Amino acid sequence: MSSQLHITPKVTIPDFLVGEVQSKLAYVDENIVGARIASTGDRITLDLREQAEGPKRSELEEKVHRVVTSMVQGAFKPKVQILEDYLDRPVPSSVDPNAELLVRGEMFQEAVGIFTLGPLVTRLISFFERQFIGLADSFGAAPYRFPTLIPAKSLERVGYFRAFPQSLSFVMHLREDLDAIDNFAQHAACDEHALNTPADSFARIQALLSPAVCYHLYFALADKPLPGGKMAATAVGNCFRYESVNLASLERLWNFTMREVIFVGPKDFVLQNRETGRERMRGFFEEIGLAYRVESANDPFFIGEFKKQAAFQSAFQLKFEIRAGLPFKQSTLAVGSYNYHQDFFGRSLNITLPDGSPAHTGCIAFGLERMAFAFLSQYGLDDANWPDSVRQYVLVGLL
Amino acid sequence: MENDNLIVRVQETVAEALLVPASQVAPDLAFGGIKEWDSMGHMGVMMLLEERFGISIDAEIIAALTSIPAICEYIQKTGKE
């Protein structure tokens, strides 16, 4: 029987951490199906699948306190920097597009976090893709195609398991063993939630589903001098980040698509291109009348690393998100980001510049489904309200 | 003399935060100068400096305190030494 559990944290959660802590509570226990933190930071409400009493309740509370204390104590308040603010740009719609997308067959949920998209949304994504490819072309970025799988040993090399363990998606296959395969074939069956299989069916994990696009380029460049000393590249790819109960509609997908423009080279080359890219995108967003803001941000590091890594990203201005307005819920959604990794990948993967120093890297990334969702949230599905350039491309195929 | 003392204490604190022998932390060492002084290491240094010197380091200043001399200068400026 479902129930609620209220917990008073041992330390008050400051407002700048409420969202971060709330999202991490999803990973505390499989019994949790929802978590909310009061804006005052002194009360946590957990929605539970089934009531937790006695030792189970104590264990749950202890884990919640551990998460809160770990993330809050000694946390540095981030330096919030806003580079562009066009959130008050007037847009014609304030209606939640989800219901209409479902009714019109433009969005079909296969499972939590897994969606099939219909022709209108697909064309809309194609429109944005054309713009982003245009941005890549303006830098002379070389096109790449990267695999959907990513080797475990590569992710280990860049510390991904430590930084983002909660969002990993593993790829498994059956053991090369006739009995195991036969046993699986005879007994594997799905219940309401998952595939039930004999416990010893699977081989050891060699690969995961890729959580980002640019990593593949860095792995390809590893352990050798960077040809020409600098490069720009671009690719689109499927990305996978498991977000538990935080998965929601097109806003937060388990399987989503990212277009990235990637820079590798000296520090100034990477930073200058990141800035130039931002200026060029500002022109495009103005052209389509998007309401958005560009502000400093941090990646969703897991609990153990969150405090230090998030503060570091903030202090060194490594990440800026393009946050588009969602008028129907009076909030914003990150539809893209401008990122600088310093020489982290250059050092971790031994990518060297002509002078022998580690290469710096950065990328401009766009979430294609989120971009389309934000646009539809601001403009609705009635194309009569859309900007001409979008309508012409989506409806007539012109650009 | 006092300044020398401060440099040594900062070197010791940085070494402790980065889990390296003090001999690896030169008086002019900077972020990235040894592999342990990376992003995680840097934030560990900031947190231990706050604790050991009783100073408050906010996000505005973290990016500036990237060398032993810069840290010493900041500690002196904040009047804790």
Q: If one looks up domain A82-149+212-396 in CATH, what number appears?
A: 3.30.930.10
Strands, E, within chain A: which ranges? 3-7, 32-37, 44-48, 82-85, 107-111, 114-117, 142-143, 149-151, 170-171, 189-190, 195-196, 207-209, 224-225, 231-240, 255-265, 292-296, 319-326, 331-340, 351-352, 360-367
pLDDT tens readout for residues A319-345: 999 999 999 999 999 999 999 999 999
Domain boundaries, chain B: 2-77
What is the complex's ipTM, to 2 decimals? 0.75
- Which amino acid is located at A317 in the chain? Q
Amino acid type, A380: G
Please indicate whether, in this complex, the C-beta atoms of A312 and B60 are within 8 angstroms of each other. no
Q: Look up the pTM and report it.
A: 0.91
* Count of residues in chain A: 399
Contact state of A307 with B43 under an 8 Å Cβ cutoff? yes
Cross-chain CB nearest to A78 (options B39, B46, B59): B59
B78 pLDDT exceeds 90? no
Q: If we measure between CA atoms, which residue out of A23, A43, A41, A20 comes closest to residue A32?
A: A23
DSSP state of A165: G
Chosen from B18, B31, B39 to mutate, greatest number of chain A CBs within 10 A: B39
A76 touching B, CB under 8 A?
Answer: yes
SS3 A240: strand
Nearest-CA distance from B39 to chain A in Å? 6
| Residue A51 bridge partners (DSSP) | none
From 1.10.10.10, 3.40.50.720, 3.30.70.100, 3.20.20.70, which CATH number describes the A3-72 domain?
Answer: 3.30.70.100
* CATH of the domain spanning B2-77, picked from 1.10.1200.10, 2.60.40.10, 1.10.10.60, 2.40.10.340: 1.10.1200.10
* pLDDT level of residue B66 (50, 70, 90 thresholds): very high
In sequence order, the β-bridge partners of residue A25 are none
Q: Please judge whether A311 and B43 are an interchain contact, meaning their C-beta atoms are less than 8 angstroms apart.
A: yes
Q: Is A299 on the interface with B (CB under 8 A)?
A: no
B19 touches chain A (CB under 8 A): no
Cα A171 from Cα A151, distance rounded (Å): 10
What's residue B75's pLDDT?
Answer: 94
Across the interface, whether the CB atoms of A315 and B39 are under 8 A apart is answered: no
Q: Over chain A, what is the mean pLDDT?
A: 94
